[in-house]
């Protein structure tokens, strides 16, 4: 009888040990699962932060590149506008060579010649003749208008100028580009090499 009771006690102890070991294993597995979730969450946060920082850096690089391209584009626009303004105000060809002679200011201007020959022979921006110079003339409600357009090559950069003259006013619109120059004038279709940036100026008087 004593032996049976002793064995029963020993079996109860073994059962207790087995239950304790099983609980310990479950607890370890639960801790591993929590640690894995925490690790995944931390990695996700770090990746999100890294992605956000990368986007900010890329945007800053793009802004810097645009700023670097904006300066030369504005420079050529300003230079071409001043060139057109200079020739329109200060250079006075012989009125006998002009097709339009409405008044002195209009008739004696370089850009008052409606066939464009005087402008082609006279205008020099950066010591270069204008490219692709064209002129058109119209009359609306007794107001004569002559529009002259031409391009200027600035060593790899380009400016496109439009001079609109009437007998009472002149408007110069100059657009500068950081790229896009061919022998025929501004070529704004080749955008594979650099990002195209346009800056413009308007002078009215």
Cα–Cα nearest to 202, from 149, 162, 151: 162
Which pLDDT score is estimated for 192?
Answer: 61
Sign for the CA dihedral angle at 172, 173, 179, 184 comes to negative
Signed CA dihedral, 178, 181, 186, 189: sign only:
negative
Q: How many other CB atoms are found less than 10 A from the CB of residue 71? A: 12
Q: Report helix, strand or coil for 106.
A: helix
Locate the domains of the chain by residue range.
75-204
Q: Which residues of the chain have pLDDT under 50?
A: 1-2, 4-7, 17, 19-21, 23, 100-105
3-state DSSP call for residue 139?
strand
Q: How far is CA 14 from CA 9, 19, 22, 128, in A?
A: 9, 9, 12, 104
pLDDT for 101 equals 45
Q: What is the predicted pLDDT for the residue at 141?
A: 62
pLDDT for residue 65: 64
Kindly state the tokens that stand for 45: 């946060």
169, 146 Cβ separation under 8 angstroms = no
Total-model pTM: 0.62
**Do residues 159 and 174 make contact, with C-beta atoms less than 8 angstroms apart?**
yes
Cα(19)–Cα(23) distance, rounded to whole angstroms? 6
Give the C-alpha separation, 121 to 180, whole Å: 24
């Amino acid at each position: 009888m004593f032996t049976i009771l002793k064995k029963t006690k020993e079996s109860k102890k073994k059962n207790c040990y087995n239950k304790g070991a099983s609980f310990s294993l479950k607890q370890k597995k639960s801790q591993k699962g929590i640690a894995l979730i925490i690790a995944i969450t931390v990695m996700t946060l770090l990746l999100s932060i890294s992605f956000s920082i990368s986007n900010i850096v890329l945007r800053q690089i793009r802004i810097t590149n645009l700023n670097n391209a904006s300066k030369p584009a504005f420079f050529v626009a300003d230079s071409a506008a001043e060139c057109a303004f200079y020739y329109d105000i200060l250079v006075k060809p012989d009125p006998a060579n002009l097709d339009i002679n409405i008044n002195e200011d209009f008739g004696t201007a370089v850009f008052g010649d409606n066939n464009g020959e005087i402008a082609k022979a006279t205008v020099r921006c950066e010591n270069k003749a204008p490219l692709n110079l064209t002129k058109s003339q119209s009359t609306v409600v007794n107001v004569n208008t002559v529009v002259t357009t031409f391009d200027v090559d600035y060593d790899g950069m380009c400016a496109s100028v439009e001079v609109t003259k009437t007998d009472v006013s002149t408007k110069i619109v100059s657009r500068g580009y950081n790229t896009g120059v061919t022998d025929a004038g501004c070529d704004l279709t080749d955008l594979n090499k650099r990002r195209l940036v346009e800056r413009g100026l308007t002078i009215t008087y």
